[in-house]
Amino acid sequence: MSETLPIDVGGIAARLQEETQRAIQRAVKGVGYFTSPAPAVGCTPKDLIRSRGPMRLFHYRPTEAELYRVPVLIVMATTNRGYILDLAPGQSFVEFLVRRGFDVFMLEWEAPRPEEKNLDLADYALEFVPQAAADVQAATGETDLSILGYCAGGMLSCIYSAVYPDRGLKNLVVFTTPVDFTKMELFANWADKRFFDVDRMVETFGNIPPEIIYTSFDMLRPAAKIAGQLRLWDNMWNDEFVKSYRMFDRWSADALALPGGYFRQVTRELLWENRLAKNELVVGGHPVDLGRITVPFLHVVAEHDHIVPRGATAPLLGLVGSAEKEEIVLKGGHVSIAAGANAVRRMWPSVDRFLARRSV
Amino acid sequence: MAEQTNLDPLGLWRDMLGQWERGLNSVANQAMGSDEFSRAMHQVTSLGLRMQQSVGEAMEKSLRALNLPSRGDLIAISERIGRIEETLARIESAQNAAQPAPADKPRPARTRQPPAT
Strand, coil or helix: A169: strand
**pLDDT of the residue at B31:** 86
Look at A67 and B112 and tell me if their CB atoms are within 8 Å. yes
Instruction: Tell the burial category of A273 from Cβ atoms under 10 Å away from its Cβ (0-12, 13-18, 19+).
Output: middle
ipTM of this complex prediction, to 2 decimal places: 0.75
**pLDDT of the residue at A181:** 94
Look at B2 and A3 and tell me if their CB atoms are within 8 Å. yes
**pLDDT of the residue at B104:** 58
Look at B21 and A2 and tell me if their CB atoms are within 8 Å. no
Alpha carbon separation from A120 to A113, A132, A205, A207 (Å, rounded): 13, 17, 15, 11
pLDDT in tens, A93-124: 999 999 999 999 999 999 998 889 999 999 99
Instruction: Flag whether A215 is in a domain.
Output: no
Could you tell me what percent of chain A has a pLDDT over 90?
57
A68 contacts on B by Cβ (under 8 Å): 110, 112
**pLDDT of the residue at A1:** 47
Look at B20 and A223 and tell me if their CB atoms are within 8 Å. yes
Instruction: Kindly identify which residue of chain A lies nearest to residue B34, measuring between CA atoms.
Output: A189
Q: How many domains does chain A have?
A: 1
Q: How far apart are CA B52 and CA B40, in angstroms?
A: 19
Of A7, A223, A359, the CB nearest to B25: A223
- Residue in A121, A132, A75, A136 with CA at minimum distance from that of residue A288: A121
Does A138 score more than 90 pLDDT?
A: yes
Among A4-8, A49-53, B2-6, B45-49, name the most confident range: A49-53
Pick the range with the lowest mean pLDDT from A28-42, A138-152, A192-206, B47-61: A28-42
Look at A68 and B45 and tell me if their CB atoms are within 8 Å. no
Instruction: Tell the burial category of A260 from Cβ atoms under 10 Å away from its Cβ (0-12, 13-18, 19+).
Output: buried
pLDDT, one tens digit for every residue, chain B (117 residues): 455 556 677 788 888 999 999 999 898 888 888 888 888 888 888 888 888 878 888 888 888 888 888 877 887 888 788 778 878 877 877 777 677 665 556 789 999 999 887
What value does the mean pLDDT take over residues A302-309?
88
Alpha carbon separation from B105 to A98, A141, B100, B102 (Å, rounded): 18, 16, 12, 7
Does A11 score more than 80 pLDDT?
A: no
Instruction: Kindly identify which residue of chain A lies nearest to residue B5, measuring between CA atoms.
Output: A7
Q: Which residue has the higher pLDDT, A167 or B59?
A: A167
What is the residue-wise DSSP string for A73-96?
Answer: EEE--TTB-GGGGS-STTS-HHHH
Q: Confirm if B115 and A356 have CB atoms less than 8 A apart.
A: yes
A-B CB pairs within 8 A amount to 134
Q: What is the mean pLDDT of chain A?
A: 90
**Structural domain boundaries enclosing A200:** 46-209+257-356
Instruction: Flag whether A79 is in a domain.
Output: yes
**pLDDT of the residue at A331:** 86
Pick the range with the lowest mean pLDDT from A129-133, A184-188, A315-319: A184-188
Strand, coil or helix: B94: helix
What are the residues facing A328 on neighbouring strands?
A: A300
A223 contacts on B by Cβ (under 8 Å): 20-21, 24-25, 28
Q: Which residue has the higher pLDDT, B103 or A203?
A: A203
Among A23-37, A59-73, B97-111, name the most confident range: A59-73
Pick the range with the lowest mean pLDDT from A189-203, A229-243, B91-105: B91-105
Instruction: Flag whether A224 is in a domain.
Output: no
Q: Confirm if A169 and A295 have CB atoms less than 8 A apart.
A: yes
Instruction: Flag whether A102 is in a domain.
Output: yes
Does A73 score more than 90 pLDDT?
A: yes
Instruction: Flag whether A23 is in a domain.
Output: no
Q: Confirm if A165 and A293 have CB atoms less than 8 A apart.
A: yes
Instruction: Flag whether A36 is in a domain.
Output: no
Look at the pTM and tell me if it is higher than 0.95.
no
CATH code for the domain of A303: 3.40.50.1820
pLDDT in tens, A207-219: 998 888 888 888 8
pLDDT in tens, A312-341: 999 999 999 999 999 999 888 888 888 878
Instruction: Flag whether A220 is in a domain.
Output: no
What value does the mean pLDDT take over residues A6-28?
78
What value does the mean pLDDT take over residues A153-161?
97
Instruction: Flag whether A267 is in a domain.
Output: yes
**pLDDT of the residue at B1:** 47
Of B1, B14, B24, the CB nearest to A1: B1
**pLDDT of the residue at B101:** 61
Of B14, B32, B43, the CB nearest to A186: B32
